[in-house]
Copies of this chain bind each other. A is one copy, B any other.
């Protein structure tokens, strides 16, 4: 038996604290958990980076040490999932294997190897009166992570939060509860060995939805909620949360092939943007193509994608060129397919492309393919999406591809951070002001 006790191993300590304070509701639990989390974040923020990194290494080792127990806990989840007749796609996300546990451990080590996001002076200036003002990075504090039944998301989030000095309360999907508990037990064991407060990573004691409700209502207790999952989960969190939320509900991304596009580049990029992986949020969902280039290029683009298994919904202009394409409805242009389907519209230049995107898009990621720099600039200034690309695939919208090392999600809101959310975006800042006796006139 790898854990100190049986059933509640993963929440041992939280459970003990709960019994001690006799909580009767999820709100009581959250209040206690958040207070411990805040103290943990405060301690983490004052630790040298080496101590946080050592904790990540210790947690990785603990994951490896307890890999068999984690896989066994996961088997419980999988058995229940199968008994309930769950869908294959969700089963694969839920499933843990020794190799996947090893990947989680390596993920923690990779985060440990990244630069310390707290070791940043964001600005440093001296006022005419001699006051020196420094804006320094600091942890956000207590983060609530709400995600689907993908156990690895919890481990990844815990690593990123710890590295950035934040405490995190992880609430994964109910189907993954045993897995989450086993992972949590391993992580906290590693933290304990490394002298980091276990309250840096906590999970609710049961799968009761009341804990989610408490987290969403946890103004003053939780500083930031990060939901990660499908549109329905994210929009529900956004609608109910009384706490700031960093997220994207959907990625309705466009690739715009401009009149001055290099045709071969357009073929290569579009095939990648649409078909590399169709289920990711950075996948292109709509092709916009200029009317002047469409007669020559659209049939080739359609043929390329058809060979890769893509199907289409095309507007009238596109169907005049490729008559075999099914007709698109207006709603098709507002649909995030997350599969091998592409909406196609012919547009008259950059302004029309921008107008289409502003009307139908989700302010996530859009690309223009063109050899005309002025057109590219007009397009990139015209859209107001988190990420705009010129002559590159929309699937580059990713923290790893941006060089962040890892990401906790993608944000399409306009507050705090947009685009891939990496370690830097998991920090806040504060000011240190150094004087020599200055008083304000």
- Chain A residues 332-374 with CB under 8 Å of chain B are 358
Q: Is the CB of B265 within 8 A of A437?
A: yes
One complex includes copies of this chain to the number of 2
Residues A387 and B430 in contact in the complex (CB < 8 Å), given A396-B440, A415-B244: yes
A interface, over-half SS: mixed
Q: Give, as a whole number of angstroms, the nearest-CB distance from A427 to chain B.
A: 10
Q: Which of B244, B401, B431, B440 contacts A387 (CB 8 A)?
A: B431
One digit per residue, 1 when the CB lies within 8 angstroms of any chain B CB and 0 when it does not, for chain A 398-441 equals: 10011100000000011111110000000011111111111110
Residues A385 and B438 in contact in the complex (CB < 8 Å), given A244-B244, A415-B415: no
Q: Is the CB of A131 within 8 A of B415?
A: no
A125 to B424, CA, bound (A): 15
A384 within 8 A of B: yes
Q: Is the CB of A434 within 8 A of B385?
A: no
Smallest CB gap from A439: residue in B: B272
Residues of B within 8 A of A384 (CB): 42, 45, 138, 141, 430
Residues of B within 8 A of A393 (CB): 438-440
One digit per residue, 1 when the CB lies within 8 angstroms of any chain B CB and 0 when it does not, for chain A 87-131 equals: 000000000000000000000000000000000000001010001
A63 within 8 A of B: no
Q: Is the CB of A439 within 8 A of B46?
A: no
Q: Give, as a whole number of angstroms, the nearest-CB distance from A263 to chain B.
A: 11
Residues of B within 8 A of A244 (CB): 244, 413, 415
Residues of B within 8 A of A322 (CB): none
Q: Is the CB of A430 within 8 A of B418?
A: yes
Residues A268 and B223 in contact in the complex (CB < 8 Å), given A125-B403, A385-B430, A430-B386: no
Q: Is the CB of A416 within 8 A of B415?
A: yes
A413 to B392, CA, bound (A): 37
Residues of B within 8 A of A308 (CB): none
A82 within 8 A of B: no
A381 within 8 A of B: yes
A193 within 8 A of B: no
Smallest CB gap from A354: residue in B: B42
Q: Is the CB of A415 within 8 A of B435?
A: no
A286 within 8 A of B: no
A239 within 8 A of B: yes
Smallest CB gap from A244: residue in B: B415
Smallest CB gap from A378: residue in B: B46
Give 3 closest A-B pairs by Cβ, nearest first: A392-B435, A272-B439, A416-B416
Sampled A-B contacts (28; CB under 8 Å) = A46-B381, A46-B382, A127-B403, A131-B392, A133-B403, A138-B384, A223-B413, A244-B244, A262-B437, A265-B437, A376-B434, A387-B430, A387-B433, A388-B430, A389-B433, A389-B434, A389-B435, A390-B435, A391-B435, A392-B436, A392-B438, A392-B439, A393-B439, A395-B439, A395-B440, A396-B433, A398-B440, A401-B440
